[in-house]
Structure 1
Amino acid sequence: MLEVLGVDSESETVYAALLSGRPTAPADLAGATGLPPGRVRMALRRLQSCGLVSRRAGRPVVYAAIDPEVSLDGLLLAKHEQLRRARARAGEFGEQFRRSMTTRDPATLIEVVTGAEAVRQRADQVVTSTRHEFRAFDKPPYNPGRELDTNQPELELLARGVTVRALYDAGGIRLPSRLDILRMWTTAGEQARVLPELPTKMGLVDDRLAILPLSPGSGPNPSPSFVVLHRSAVLDALSALFEALWAVALPLEFDNGSSTDPGDLSSEEQLLVGLLTAGLPDEAIARQAGLSYRTLQRRLRALMERSHAQTRFQLGIHAVAHGWVKAPTSGPVAAADSGRGM
């Protein structure tokens, strides 16, 4: 436990044995700790240099522990000061790097990563480097199985208090079992919103990096290509795009405490919701349901009131999120892109 303060495990063991308060000879410490006498003497020298033990004058030579509230607090304060200086130095390096960006070759601002495994590794590295906020565009296609990826890097970000905001393409949330994963992320603290369509898959790390697809690949073994963008006007534009779309997107809510049980919908209502979420226009829905256009409008308005939806799109998202309609159980899931973590 004290290794962070520069005290190795053997030295910590010897120090713990000395905390009885009685000055002890190295030979006795060897018997108490089970360590060879030579290693005990080395540990005592290290502890003495750290200010954790003192050597008493006279013979035989004995050592005593110094009060931990004094000695360990001193080490902690010294370590804190070292970290403060290191943080300040890192800030200086960052500022130096940012100044150099203005004169760098523009080609160095763009990093191209090719190949599914290389993309996954680089993306995970980029995501886990987030300090304050991670923002994402999430949309199909996904690699086979990645539509159900638990996205461990994001869960780790949320666990350490990083803000995560995700915009979802409506097509992605209708994939089989996808909603279970989205519920897990939002329960962990993710802020989620939905739009009918997103322009691309993308991840934004603070205001420092962006990662997004360059080419989806082709052929039986597609090799996706992604780009990592560093600080630049392009990165600023992507950040502005995210914020503009976030402002008009709909919150993805799974339980507002007043949702209608799917079993409470009549067969006609289930048909209407199913046709609506399938993307059919009102005229086609009316024909399929055998209703007049005016009656269809009344039925849809009633469903919107029950779901507290302001728009048809909100009604469709609510219907999928609360199980009013089932996600498709079959159909192609393209394998040209990586999953949420890119």
Structure 2
Amino acid sequence: MLEVLGIDPESESVYAALLCGRPVTPDDLVCTTGLPLARIRAALRRLQSSGLVGRQQRRPATYIAIDPEVALDGLLLSRQEEFHKARVRAGEFTERFRRAAATRDPAEVIEIVTGSEAVQQRSDQMVRNVRHQLRVFDKPPYHDGGLDPNQPELDLLSRGLTVRALYDAASIDIPGRQQLVRMWTEAGEEARVLADVPTKMALVDDRLAVLPLRAGSGPDPSPSFVVLHRSAVLDALSALFEALWAVAQPLRTQDVTGDAPRILSEQDQLLVSLLTAGLPDEAIARQADLSYRTLQRRLHALMERAGASTRFQLGIHAAANGWVTGVEVTSSASRT
């Protein structure tokens, strides 16, 4: 626990044994901790140098713990000062890197990573270095079947960072993946869904992006991904994410994973199918044998049910939640 302060576990156990408040000898500590005498003495020397233990000049020599409130606070302040200096130094290195990047060959803005293991390692490294937010386009197919619990993202969320994921509708239809989506959203992920996400992609703050080199990104045994550094291309990908996020439908995990999915009447299924097929309202009314006014009321009710504010969002919600039945559109219909 105290390793972050430079105290190894063995020294920590010796220090804990000294917290009895009375002077003890190394032999006493052998009995208390079960450690050999040589290792006890080595731990005591380390604790003394860290200011956690005092030695009393007696025969035999005895040791007593320094008040943790004083000793540990001193170590914490010292380590915080070291972290501050390291952060300042890291900032200097970052600035030097950016200045050099402004004059380097444009081809160096692009990094190609090939091979499943290398891609996974690079992706995990990027996720662990998120400072503010991670933005993701989530789209099948997946090299792992789409059922990886994604521990790096859970770690990000546990640190209070922002994760926004835009799911392709097909990605949440994979058996077993609904439970994962629920786990991520319950951990704090903001999730939305689109009928067709253009590509897989991860954006780390405004610093890095990773996306597949090949369109479609099938389950290639040796995939290749592109890592983009700060550039106009990265800015364009960021703008693309925000534009699609603005029109995407919020993903309600209870709709995706609930035991009782929402069931539409046969006529509402027809309306949704015709709407998602791209027919104008007049044609939908003719196909469904409804008046135009009645159609508007029915569509408005469906939008309220889906929590959608636009027809586009209704169509996305329908695709994501199994409302689209694939009804074949006839060439004409008569309305009595």
Shorter-chain TM-score tier: 0.7 to 0.9
Q: Give ranges in structure 2 of 5+ residues lacking alignment.
A: 327-336
SS at match of 2:317: helix
**Kindly tell me: are residues 284 and 171 of structure 1, through their superposed partners in 2, closer, same or farther at Cα, counting changes over 3 Å?**
farther
For residues 237 and 218 of structure 2, what CA distance do their matches in structure 1 show?
Answer: 30
In the TM superposition, residue 80 of structure 1 has moved relative to its aligned partner by: 1.3
Q: Give ranges in structure 1 of 5+ residues lacking alignment.
A: 328-342
- Deviation readout 1:61-103 (Å, 9 max, x if unpaired): 2222221111111111111111111111111111111111112
**Kindly tell me: are residues 173 and 317 of structure 1, through their superposed partners in 2, closer, same or farther at Cα, counting changes over 3 Å?**
farther
In the TM superposition, residue 201 of structure 1 has moved relative to its aligned partner by: 2.0
For residues 151 and 126 of structure 1, what CA distance do their matches in structure 2 show?
Answer: 13
For residues 313 and 325 of structure 1, what CA distance do their matches in structure 2 show?
Answer: 14
Residue of structure 2 in register with 1:212 after alignment = 211
Residue of structure 2 in register with 1:2 after alignment = 2
In the TM superposition, residue 211 of structure 1 has moved relative to its aligned partner by: 0.6
| Number of aligned residues | 321
**Kindly tell me: are residues 125 and 220 of structure 1, through their superposed partners in 2, closer, same or farther at Cα, counting changes over 3 Å?**
closer
For residues 219 and 301 of structure 2, what CA distance do their matches in structure 1 show?
Answer: 48
**Kindly tell me: are residues 210 and 219 of structure 1, through their superposed partners in 2, closer, same or farther at Cα, counting changes over 3 Å?**
closer
SS at match of 1:215: coil
- Deviation readout 1:132-169 (Å, 9 max, x if unpaired): 111122234444722x4433322222122111112233
TM-score by length of 2: 0.81
Structure 1 residue 63 corresponds to structure 2 residue 40: no
SS at match of 1:63: strand
Bigger shift: residues 309-318 or 28-37? 309-318
For residues 22 and 103 of structure 1, what CA distance do their matches in structure 2 show?
Answer: 65
Bigger shift: residues 213-222 or 303-312? 213-222
Q: How does 1:1-342 map to 2 (within 5 A)?
A: 1-143=1-143, 145-146=145-146, 148-175=147-174, 178-216=177-215, 223-254=222-253, 265-274=264-273, 276-277=275-276, 279=277, 281=279, 291=289, 294=292, 299-320=298-319, 324=323
- Aligned identity (percent) is 67
SS at match of 2:103: coil
In the TM superposition, residue 38 of structure 1 has moved relative to its aligned partner by: 1.9
For residues 106 and 114 of structure 2, what CA distance do their matches in structure 1 show?
Answer: 20
TM-score by length of 1: 0.80
**Kindly tell me: are residues 185 and 317 of structure 1, through their superposed partners in 2, closer, same or farther at Cα, counting changes over 3 Å?**
farther
Aligned residues of 1:216 and 1:223 also touching (Cα < 8 A): no
- Deviation readout 1:11-48 (Å, 9 max, x if unpaired): 22222222222212222222222222222222221111
Deviation >6 Å, runs of 4+: 217-220, 283-287
Q: Which amino acid aligns with 1:139?
A: K
Aligned residues of 1:174 and 1:320 also touching (Cα < 8 A): no
In the TM superposition, residue 203 of structure 1 has moved relative to its aligned partner by: 1.0
**Kindly tell me: are residues 9 and 302 of structure 1, through their superposed partners in 2, closer, same or farther at Cα, counting changes over 3 Å?**
closer
**Kindly tell me: are residues 293 and 140 of structure 1, through their superposed partners in 2, closer, same or farther at Cα, counting changes over 3 Å?**
farther
Which structure would you say has the larger RCO, counting Cα contacts within 8 Å and 6 or more residues apart? 1
